[in-house]
Amino acid sequence: MQIKTYTANSMKDILSQIKSELGSDAVILSKREIADKSFGLAAKPLIEVTAAVDYDAGAHGHKTKTDELPEFPKLPAHNSLQPDSLSNEIIELKEMMKELIAHTGVTLHSGNPLRKKLLSLGIRPNLVDLVLSKLGQGAGAHSVKDLLSKIIRTERPIHNKVWAFVGTTGVGKTTTIAKIAARCVLNENKKAGLITLDTYRIGAIDQGRIYAKILNIPFLSVTTAAEFRTALAKLESMDLILVDTVGRSPLCRDYVPQLKEYLGGINPCTFLLMPVATRDTEMDTITRSFSELNIDRMIFTKVDEAIHSGSVITHNLLYRIPISFLTTGQRVPEDIEEASASTIVERCLGDMS
């Protein structure tokens, strides 16, 4: 599979570039207008198109045709909901943090240039003070990095067949799923399938369908919890079932309960995706809203777009949800890496001296 993004003034130019570089089998994944920053405000918008072409249909049999996708009978809905524990843990952790700051000799290091630097990277003041107090007077950048590398939690995904990806709209769920599916199929030679939960029946499934088609893996879109269970049964022979969700604001009252209805009782490895550049307080609200789903792992996305990445450290120290992956760009499947504490520290504090 090859995926490329093209930018030009006209669709005609883009199409001829796509045709000459990717060939006539290429499909268009997305098209949008973007501002041309090079010539000031009067500039005409540019068109940006992402196109893809099948990597090697021959090696994996024939391509799946969209109109060959099977239909599924409806089953009675299951309604086994998981108790939520994460929100309690979060409250406890926050209380613990407050206690620590209040009673364990944490001192403010207001004049310390290292403190200023850590704050400028987006790490929360109370955590910066906690770290600096732990290290004592005269601590340098190196010892901060060392300490953080020891306490940042990263872990591989849980060994479950079903992986569910949740998060607000546009955070990179579908793209990240495509990256993981491609790696699974191409590098590990495993069988993967994709299910999209289109809870709001808004038909936002084309992108996932196209990725699945390119990878020649099964793709199913479901609009009820009962259809979801039937789809899971259909994909039983797969090594990994990746579940995409059509994101909405977690503040929409019925969004998380609906997802819970789908995922309850299945016990997937649930990933919460969050762009690194998300505002600190927004990260809090989103994490709390999704905590009802028992989030197992974090995936921080769009690392490449963030100016400062200290929010990743803040989030990890506060919520202690292990990070499994970082995504570093739009390219599928290249722009994803398994998270490790040392790479996170390097990415977040790399230029600190």
- For the chain, give the number of residues: 353
* Residue from 330, 344, 347, 349 binding ligand GDP (CB under 6 A): 330
* Residue from 174, 278, 311, 324 binding Mg ion (CB under 5 A): 174
Q: Which is nearer to Mg ion, 174 or 327 (CB)?
A: 174
Tokens of 78: 């299951």
Nearest-angstrom CA–CA distance, 199 and 234: 19
DSSP symbols for 73-103? ---PPP--PPPP-HHHHHHHHHHHHHHHHHH
Strands 240-245 and 323-327 turn out to be unpaired
18 exposed, middle or buried (CB, 10 Å; 0-12, 13-18, 19+)?
Answer: buried
Is 154 an interacting residue with respect to ligand GDP (CB under 6 A)? no
Pick out residues in 6-35 that bind ligand GDP (CB under 6 A).
Answer: none
List all residues 6 or more positions away from 64 whose beta carbon is below 8 Å from its beta carbon: 212, 213, 216, 218, 219
Closest approach of ligand GDP to the CB of residue 327, in Å: 3
What is the residue whose two structure tokens read 């399938």?
Answer: 193
> ∠95-96-97 over CA atoms, to 5°?
90
Give the binding range for Mg ion (CB under 5 A) out of 12-20, 65-73, 114-122, 166-174.
166-174
Give the binding range for ligand GDP (CB under 6 A) out of 19-27, 108-116, 165-173, 309-317.
165-173
Tokens of 293: 């789903």
Is 328 an interacting residue with respect to ligand GDP (CB under 6 A)? yes
Is 247 an interacting residue with respect to ligand GDP (CB under 6 A)? yes
Closest approach of ligand GDP to the CB of residue 225, in Å: 20
Is 221 an interacting residue with respect to Mg ion (CB under 5 A)? no
> ∠210-215-219 over CA atoms, to 5°?
55
Nearest-angstrom CA–CA distance, 205 and 190: 23
Number of residues that bind ligand GDP (CB under 6 A): 19
Strands 240-245 and 192-197 turn out to be parallel
Q: Which does 330 bind (CB under 5 to 8 A by kind): Mg ion, ligand GDP, none?
A: ligand GDP
The reply to whether omega before 333 is within 30° of 0 (cis) is: yes
Give the binding range for Mg ion (CB under 5 A) out of 88-96, 172-180, 262-270, 305-313.
172-180
Q: Which does 289 bind (CB under 5 to 8 A by kind): ligand GDP, Mg ion, none?
A: none
Q: Which does 278 bind (CB under 5 to 8 A by kind): Mg ion, ligand GDP, none?
A: none
Pick out residues in 128-147 that bind ligand GDP (CB under 6 A).
Answer: none
Q: How many CB atoms lie within 10 A of CB 1?
A: 17
Give the binding range for ligand GDP (CB under 6 A) out of 141-149, 156-164, 167-175, 252-260.
167-175
* Residue from 302, 312, 321, 347 binding ligand GDP (CB under 6 A): 302
Residues that bind Mg ion (CB under 5 A): 173-174
Residues forming contacts to ligand GDP in the complex (CB under 6 A) are 167, 169-175, 207, 247, 301-302, 304-305, 327-330, 335
